[in-house]
């Protein structure tokens, strides 16, 4: 490879001589929330199944799984939204 290919793009002007603009890469909020909610479902179901195995309690296991999965969706979605806001603040250039 030649050294010409390793030029930093911010230093190269476009055809009219103007510098290339910096593009802000903002995170997609929905993807963060959905990923957090999915992780919350998995962790909630896993926690309820492990707790029922450890405590040897099988009564109303389906209801317990649904409730912990629902709580996991809420907590995971909120955590995903928080992380998206943090990532968005880091992607914003400081003046």
Is 68 within 8 Å of 48 (Cβ atoms)?
yes
Tokens of 15: 């055809």
Number of residues in the chain: 95
Structural domain contains residue 64? yes
Q: Please state, in angstroms and as integers, the Cα–Cα distance from residue 72 to each residue in 5, 22, 47, following that order.
A: 48, 38, 10
- Structural domain of residue 56, as residue ranges? 27-89
pLDDT digits (tens, 9 = 90+) for 6-32: 445 555 555 676 666 677 777 888 999
Q: Give the model's pLDDT for residue 91.
A: 75
Residue 19 main-chain phi, psi, to 5 deg: -70, 150
Structural domain contains residue 94? no
Structural domain contains residue 5? no
Q: How many domains does the chain divide into?
A: 1
Structural domain contains residue 9? no
Structural domain contains residue 84? yes
Structural domain contains residue 17? no
The pTM is what? 0.68
Total Cβ atoms within 10 A of residue 89: 9
């Amino acid at each position: 490879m030649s050294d010409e290919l390793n030029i930093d793009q911010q230093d190269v002007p476009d055809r009219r001589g103007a510098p290339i603009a910096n593009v802000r890469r903002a995170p997609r909020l929905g993807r963060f929330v959905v990923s957090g909610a999915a992780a919350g479902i998995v962790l909630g179901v896993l926690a309820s199944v492990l707790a029922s195995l450890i405590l040897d309690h099988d009564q109303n296991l389906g209801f317990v799984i649904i409730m912990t999965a629902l709580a996991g969706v809420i907590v995971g979605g909120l955590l995903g939204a928080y992380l998206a806001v943090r990532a968005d603040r880091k992607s914003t250039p400081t003046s």
